[in-house]
Amino acid sequence: MSREKVGEILEMNNPKHAVLQKIKNGRKTYGITPRIPGGFITPDQLIKIAQVAKKYKGTMKLTSGQRVAILGVKGEDVEKMWQELDMEPGVLSSYSVKNVEVCPAGFCKRSRQNSLPLGMKLEKRFYGAPTPNRTKIGVAGCRNACGSVHAKDIGVLADEEGFIVVVGGSAGFHPRLSDEIARRLTEEQAYILVEVIYDYYCKEAEMGEKLGIFIDKISIEKFKEDVMTIFDERVNGREMNE
């Protein structure tokens, strides 16, 4: 049985929007992670998460994906906790965009472009969007690439000349550094190129295939040529319509 099929079965047998963490003496515990767009959270939301975690004896954990997870949760408590949190889940499915990680560019002295508006726009557009496999997007305002942008499936970073789009990064079971697709892009062009990459990946990759693995299968040269051809057509078509 494939790893992807095992994942599907585990999802079906678990409470909705919860991840099975441990089975000890026949007792299952789960983790739940509310959606925190771009890692920005209000004081009231943070207080609510803490109150729910305390009520159900969960352990709070700051995740690498700019969210707060509640761990050690009983299966029978999951649905009640989501109702009391009144927040969307951070991950809708194992076969979707898992999160868009955003650096605090507008607040950082090192940023070369204020990438916050672009990052939040991408988060809104791709939250929970279906994909052949779990997909992460990262956005940073300089080439320091805070948030491990080069280890994301799709990454956007910036320098003085504009935005740079990279693809195929992974820090998981099969580590892979990203490949650059284009640079000197405007904010709008970067957004369009991310959409093109997403559409191409969803159309051409096999179910269960990570983006980096798909790129290595067809070659980065073909991937780049194909997406840039579509990108040019889409940009030119938008300019003509305007």
Instruction: Please give the C-alpha separations between residue 235 and each of 69, 183, 193, 204, 231, in angstroms, as whole numbers.
Output: 39, 15, 9, 21, 6
Residue ranges of the domains in the chain?
3-85, 97-241
CATH top-level class of 97-241: alpha beta
The residues, ordered by sequence, that sit 6+ positions from 172 with a Cβ below 8 Å of its Cβ are 210
Residues 116-173 have pLDDT tens digits of 999 999 999 999 999 999 999 999 999 999 999 999 999 999 999 999 999 999 998 8
Residues of the chain with pLDDT below 50 are 1-7, 9-10
What was the pLDDT predicted at 239? 60
Pick the CATH number of 3-85 from 2.170.150.20, 3.30.429.10, 3.30.70.3340, 3.30.300.30: 3.30.70.3340
The residues, ordered by sequence, that sit 6+ positions from 192 with a Cβ below 8 Å of its Cβ are 231, 234, 235, 238
